Structure 1
Amino acid sequence: MSTTENAIASAEAHSAHTYHPLPVVVATAEGAWMTDVEGRRYLDMLAGYSALNFGHANRRLIDAAKAQLERVTLTSRAFHHDRFAEFCTQLADLCGMEMVLPMNTGAEAVETAVKTARKWGYRVKGVPDGMAKIIVASDNFHGRTTTIISFSTDHEARADFGPYTPGFEIVPYGDLTAMRAAMTENTVAVLLEPIQGEAGVLVPPPGYLPGVRELTRERNVLFIADEIQSGLGRTGKTFACEHEGVVPDMYVLGKALGGGIVPVSAVVSSAAVLGVYRPGEHGSTFGGNPLACAVALEVIAMLRTGEFQQRATELGDHLHQELGLLVGGGAVQTVRGRGLWAGVDIDPGHGTGREISEKLMDRRVLVKDTHGSTIRIAPPLVISKEDLDWGLEQLREVLRG
């Protein structure tokens, strides 16, 4: 057996089968390229589901992490440390908010947002105890914890994990009329992805997000934007909500906030919302640790230059122009997305999304399928135009075949 085959066989034997990865075993990576254990190079067109917006082994982020590793990496929240206040201040300012509640993973941050909305509903809005409701959208993906899958419409995510957590109303994504009808005096929040990533990079119709913002203000309901995948430069803006001129009551952030080095997530909101917490009501041993703060501070500094947002805009325009040329040729049915992020629906006659992904892997391009016939394209924002064009040419060749 080859080194690759041995590694895959060992993983299959000794790890739970919660993923079905492509049969490539990565050993090193830099920028937009990854190298496997056999020395073969692959163009990364997924970027860790946007966790690697700034590329693999980004020198600024690696240097920030190394410097902090030599000082202190963990104190727990039992004590203050010298990076925490700066991290919270800088992230709140980047978001135009006032307070930050740091966690580790995106799912933890979504759970935190749910808890925050409920507590705000009871303490501030005056909802009767145990009666709080949160409106979510169908085809959402916010994580895989027990509570989060309770409001998922994905059968694979939900099956055999009940009983499910109550307190959620599911309405069609993009349907303001259905959302208005679902609201009651006990509704405390609307939780949405400004662009649904796992669903296939679904962009809501124009006016939808502003309509949600208006409706939530009108009904004294919190608007929570899950920008874990869409935020921090991916769409050409710092936050995807900015494309519609919308500022939510709460941002949920993760993935790229850790620079692809450490898991960093956060809920960012106003003092009126996050101020409902008292000591002991929520927390995390690792949330907001010194290493996480050091890396995230460098991410924030990089975003403040606007360089990555501009790259996502310019390369994203090029990406969508080139992908658009594939529509109507028989192989590609639809292309959606914004910035350097696209969902490509493959005609079933040309293969499933998995099959197309495997053929691209054979041509040294790595993407990921979702929902059967869709592939997602989301390269690191540092990718060169030449490399992007090469990757797109491999897609064209696969579809011609």
Structure 2
Amino acid sequence: MKMVATGLLLLAAVIFLGCVIWQRYDAPAWVGYVKATAEASMVGAIADWFAVTALFRHPMGVPIPHTAIIPRKKDQIGESLGEFVQSNFLTGPVLAEKLRQLGVSRKAGEFLSEPANARKLSGNVGRAITTGLEIMGDDDVQQVFDNIIMKRVRDADAAPILAKLIDVAVAGGNHQNMMTAGLKGVAKFLDENRQVLRVKLAQESPDWVPSWVDERIFNKIYSGVQSFIAEVAADENHEMRRQFDARVREYAEQLRTDPEAAAKIAAIKDDVLGHPAVREWSQSAWANIKRSLITMANDPDSDLRLQLESSILKLGTTLSNDPSLQAKVDGWVERGVLYVVDEYKDHIADLISGTVARWDTAETSKRIELQVGRDLQFIRINGTVIGALAGLVIYTISQIIG
């Protein structure tokens, strides 16, 4: 476009020179009109070339005042642009109206309700989980685990908690179920170790007692114990069960009221928490959890990923078909955006002006010129044409008056 505009200027110059030379040799009268037209065309072309060039640089490298406007005013342009955006775009009414037109929640619902999008989004969430877990330092997590969870466990008063658990168990009859299970376990243990117990009785019995006597004594004791266990296990109203119930309730009350009993439970708790096995478990717990989460997050067919995908699909379907939910979400989005804009619009304007200020002056001027350069060259072309017409009109009027 520069070549076209410059070519027209050169064409006007050639025509002008031709007319000047021709007029030396008795040229016709109409040549004066052509000469005046070409002369004014050159003036218009040069004037508009100067105006266009002055926007971006000093014409011919000469530092004429009020030239190279864009490089000289770059920072001010950035500030004005920031203020313009802040005043005309970052305003509540403008943004609220635009958000209502967009229908953010409905479009989001339609997007999320597509299976392919839900699966892709679940994959993105999985990768985010993996990245987050890999960034987190194991030592830091272990320290947090010790400082928060284990510390709270150590500081917690175990006696009242245990008493409450006992109350809950008693209220549901679970302590009797535990007793039944324990009795059956004892019976099974005795049955599986009958011969061992028989040998043990023989070892403890005096040498002068005949073995058949030992056998009869053992069978009598064994049968009696097994019979008693079976009786207690089968009878829900057995006296032993009532005594067990009373002892359990009594112990729960003792835990709440007896400092000595509470101290014993606290000591047991401290011993358990201080055991190397518990410490080893606490150290390995996070590593195991982390490994499992990363594996599930990277496996498209894992329960975690499938559940994420299902939840996203369900959310998208609900959001697409529920106008009341859409209204609520749109309201949340609108309030959130307006809050952020209201709080940070000054920072956004500063970001724009600061970014423009950091641009290289020559590069900025060049980019703007390239962006609007075609229209700028049309200004030169129009100046050439308009100048020619103006020159023709002025010359014609002068001839008429003369």
- Name the TM-score class by shorter chain: under 0.3
Q: What is the TM-score normalised by the length of structure 2?
A: 0.17
Q: Structure 1 or 2: larger helix share? A: 2
Q: Structure 1 or 2: larger strand share? A: 1
Q: What is the TM-score normalised by the length of structure 1?
A: 0.17
Higher relative contact order (CA 8 A, sep 6+): 2
